[in-house]
Structure 1
């Protein structure tokens, strides 16, 4: 029950009073304009910072994927280098006649004259 009371006070109609009221209106309008500008710039800042954070997050994910892939490829490279080393050693051994004879006896069951080959089951 907030009923405005009628007051018996009348406003003076002087230039000073009208100037003061005009100053108050201009100040109020300026405050409103500043508030709108501030809200605009704040929202623009929020949108841009959100976009930058999202981009940063995507790049971080890509970097993690690339790092994991690099690690996997590095392990594969190490494995292949070991395999290459073994194959080179095998090539060197294949130039030796004694190794070839031993390999033929083991793999193809070839024997020398008078030799008997016994094949034992592995397990």
Structure 2
């Protein structure tokens, strides 16, 4: 039960066999060069894909940051525009003498000649005083 012994096969040294060996070597060499070219192409394709994807990701994150900043700035702009209209209305009111007189009476307790100013507590303060238990 031993392993069968293989007898070496002698190769024929004919022109046909030489041509076949040369042809097989050329085919092996072509296959080897093809594998090398495909490997180089694959490496270049992977590098280009990596650069493209990383650029896309960084641009996307930058775009999101810019969108957030835009929303924040739009909110600030809306507040500032509202404040500007309020200030413009205040300027218009301050150009009116009657408004200035009313403001001076209420805020600074100024009066015209012969007027007496009485300080009446506001409604909220009055309600709070009424609710205090004795």
TM-score, normalising length: structure 2:
0.81
1:120 partner SS: coil
1:13 partner SS: coil
Q: Which runs of 5+ in 2 are unaligned?
A: 126-134
Q: Supply the distance in 2 between the matched residues of 1:56 and 1:8 (Cα, whole angstroms).
A: 62
2:65 is the counterpart of 1:50: no
Q: Which runs of 5+ in 1 are unaligned?
A: none
Q: Supply the distance in 1 between the matched residues of 2:4 and 2:22 (Cα, whole angstroms).
A: 24
Q: Supply the distance in 1 between the matched residues of 2:100 and 2:82 (Cα, whole angstroms).
A: 23
Q: Is the 8 A contact 1:94 1:100 kept in 2?
A: yes
Q: Is the 8 A contact 2:109 2:117 kept in 1?
A: no
Q: Supply the distance in 1 between the matched residues of 2:120 and 2:67 (Cα, whole angstroms).
A: 50
Equivalences, count: 121
TM-score, normalising length: structure 1:
0.88
RMSD (Å), alpha carbons: 1.9
The match for 1:19 is 19
Deviates more, 1:99-108 or 1:5-14: 5-14
1:1-123 superposed matches below 5 A: 5-7=5-7, 9-112=9-112, 113-120=114-121, 123=125
